[in-house]
């Protein structure tokens, strides 16, 4: 763990087969606005009223980012084949196709980690959230890096007030859709994982300088994090690791960017697999003569 940028890891991810299907999260449908009196006004002079569009509040931004990160984690596990394909079910979120785990314990682990991220995000403590794909020796192969940047300081009493100049609340989902579309095609850019590896994942939280995870004030319990393995963090990446930008969005409240980093260890293994194998040395056909 870096002295300057504390990093912690969510406790133990499950590795069991699914037993039941996880129910899809229901989305609210917005009803159409109607005249409160129910009258027609055909004879009245039509007056143009400027349309006002609500911009994001701080709390809306936090909620939206957390919802997106949770959906994205499920997609990462599916696209990178961390678990068998039949563990997932096809859903629709942010107006695009996504894949969601059907494993109750796995879903609980992911949602619990994202909730704990939210407790730090609302305090402005989060620097990065990293989904690290690792091999059986705990060596990082890929890091999916969600970079968080708080753009403004908002007082507690103002966190449900629309932020002037921020992104329109109704358009945030469209940006998340573009993230997920690119994420679903990331395999074409990254290629397959090295063969023969049994893979797992961890969720790593990297905090701002000199900040430790918060204690849950309501439950008075320690945070659900353990110190992260340095090699799993962005500080532990080698200089030769390759970084691929996926997407970024400037909300005007909290900015979010997603990138994928291929570790030096993964790249070495891929190069080794691509090298042609030398043919075995040929055995001489002549008889050896005793000296």
Residue 224 CB coordination number (10 Å): 16
* d(C-alpha 99, C-alpha 89), whole Å: 6
Task: Give me the half-sphere count of Cα atoms (radius 13 Å) on the Cβ side of residue 261.
Answer: 24
Residue 14 confidence (pLDDT): 59
Query: Residue ranges of the domains in the chain?
Result: 7-13+54-274
Residue ranges in the chain whose pLDDT is less than 70: 1-6, 8, 11-53, 196-197, 215-223, 277-291
247 near 260, Cβ under 8 Å?
no
Summarised one tens digit per residue, pLDDT across range 8-22 is 677 666 554 444 344
Residue 130 confidence (pLDDT): 96
Residue 3 confidence (pLDDT): 46
Q: Report the predicted TM-score, pTM, of the whole model to 2 decimal places.
A: 0.77
Residue 214 confidence (pLDDT): 74
CATH of range 7-13+54-274; options 3.10.450.350, 3.20.20.80, 3.30.900.10, 1.10.10.10: 3.30.900.10
- For residue 105 the two structure tokens come to 């314990």
Summarised one tens digit per residue, pLDDT across range 195-223 is 766 899 999 999 988 777 776 655 555 55
251 near 166, Cβ under 8 Å?
yes
* d(C-alpha 202, C-alpha 258), whole Å: 17
207 near 177, Cβ under 8 Å?
no
217 near 114, Cβ under 8 Å?
no
Residues 6+ apart with CB under 8 A from 215: 221, 222, 223
């Amino acid at each position: 763990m870096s002295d300057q940028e504390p990093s912690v890891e969510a406790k133990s991810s499950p590795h069991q087969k699914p037993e039941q299907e996880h129910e899809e999260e229901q989305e609210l449908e917005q009803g159409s606005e109607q005249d409160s009196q129910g009258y027609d006004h055909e004879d009245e002079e039509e007056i143009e009223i400027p349309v006002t569009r609500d911009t994001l509040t701080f709390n809306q931004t936090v909620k939206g980012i957390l919802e997106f990160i949770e959906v994205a984690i499920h997609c990462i596990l599916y696209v990178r084949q961390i678990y068998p394909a039949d563990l997932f079910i096809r859903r629709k979120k942010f107006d695009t196709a996504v894949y969601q785990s059907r494993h109750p314990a796995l879903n609980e682990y992911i949602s619990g980690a994202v909730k704990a991220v939210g407790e730090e995000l609302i305090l402005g403590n989060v620097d990065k959230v990293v989904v690290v794909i690792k091999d059986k020796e705990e060596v990082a192969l890929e890091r999916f890096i969600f970079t968080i940047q708080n753009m403004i300081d908002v007082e507690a009493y103002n966190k449900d007030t629309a932020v002037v100049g921020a992104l329109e609340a109704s358009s945030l989902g469209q940006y998340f859709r573009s993230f997920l579309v690119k994420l679903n095609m990331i395999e074409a850019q990254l290629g397959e994982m090295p063969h023969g590896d049994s893979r797992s994942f961890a969720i790593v939280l990297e905090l701002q300088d000199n900040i430790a995870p918060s204690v849950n004030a309501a439950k008075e319990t320690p945070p659900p994090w353990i110190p992260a393995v340095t090699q799993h963090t962005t500080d532990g990446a080698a200089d030769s690791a390759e970084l691929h930008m996926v997407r970024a969005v400037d909300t005007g409240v909290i900015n979010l960017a997603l990138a994928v980093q291929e570790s030096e260890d993964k790249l070495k293994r891929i190069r080794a697999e691509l090298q042609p194998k030398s043919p075995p040395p040929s055995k001489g056909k002549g008889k050896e003569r005793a000296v």
